[in-house]
Amino acid sequence: KNICVLISGTGTNLQALMDACDAGRIDGSISAVISNNADAFGLERARNAGIKTHCLSHKDFASRDDYDLALGDLLAQYDADCIVLAGFMRILTPEFVARFSGKLLNIHPSLLPKYRGLHTHQRAIENKDTEHGVSVHYVTPELDGGPVIVQSRVPVFDDDTVEDLAERVSEQELRIYPLVVKWFCEGRLAMKENKAVFDNEIL
Ligand code: GRF
């Protein structure tokens, strides 16, 4: 299967996906990594691994619609089976989401539907949650609102800083995202009627 990864930053999730593909754990390969930010360290990770990279800066486009059209055209060139959002800090237009419906995955650092949007670790600490975590979900037009595929939970301790919690969640991200992409590439996963369905329910 043909995977494209969209990033904006460090790319630790991208690295985990590259490693899983290299090790043969995912039956697919990453054909391109696209960033909206030229300084994203993830671009360097991809270049070092010999993966094609593109920087498509939102600053070069007059509108979100124009940007998403160009992004979509670029992805279409790669004929991507699976488009993995790995820290891609852009809101996508409904038209873009519809164009690639069922192929778009995202990872979000909270136990959705809790804490959509930003600063999730801080919000979990402020609310004195005893449990926090990460969700992998299908992308729908609703921001961080698509059907959840897998979640991983972590404890929140009284003296946790945002960094402590982010680190604990990150460990889980690097574990579950490759797993979900593996299932996706094996055809064991689908989105039906706005729900994520597995294996036996697909057939
Ligand atoms: C992760 O926390 C992910 O959950 C969020 O953005 C961050 C990306 O980190 N969507 P990285 O660029 O993969 O290191």
Segment 31-40, tens digit of pLDDT: 999 999 999 9
Looking at the DSSP bridge assignments, the partners of residue 106 are 85, 137
Segment 146-157, tens digit of pLDDT: 999 999 999 999
Ligand 1 site residues, Cβ closer than 6 angstroms: 7, 9-14, 42, 86-87, 107-109, 173
- Fold entry, domain 2-202: Rossmann fold (3.40.50)
Burial (CB count <10 Å: 0-12, 13-18, 19+), residue 49: middle
Whole-angstrom Cα distance, residue 52 to residue 55? 10
Q: Could you tell me the distance, in angstroms and rounded to a whole number, from the CA of residue 86 to the centre of ligand 1?
A: 6
Measured by CA distance, the residue closest to atom 2 of ligand 1 is: 109
pTM: 0.96
Domain spans of the chain?
2-202
Q: Say whether 54 is catalytic.
A: no
Q: Active-site residue among 108, 121, 132, 137?
A: 108
Segment 36-71, tens digit of pLDDT: 999 999 999 999 999 999 999 999 999 999 999 999
* Chain CA centroid to CA 170, Å: 13
Is this complex scored with an ipTM above 0.90?
A: yes
Task: Name the E strands within 79-202.
Answer: 82-85, 104-108, 131-138, 148-155, 189-192, 195-198
Residue 158: pLDDT band by 50, 70, 90 thresholds? very high
> Of 90, 87, 50, which is closest to residue 70 (Cα–Cα)?
90
The mean pLDDT of the chain is 96
Single-letter code of the amino acid located at 110: S
Segment 91-142, tens digit of pLDDT: 999 999 999 999 999 999 999 999 999 999 999 999 999 999 999 999 999 9
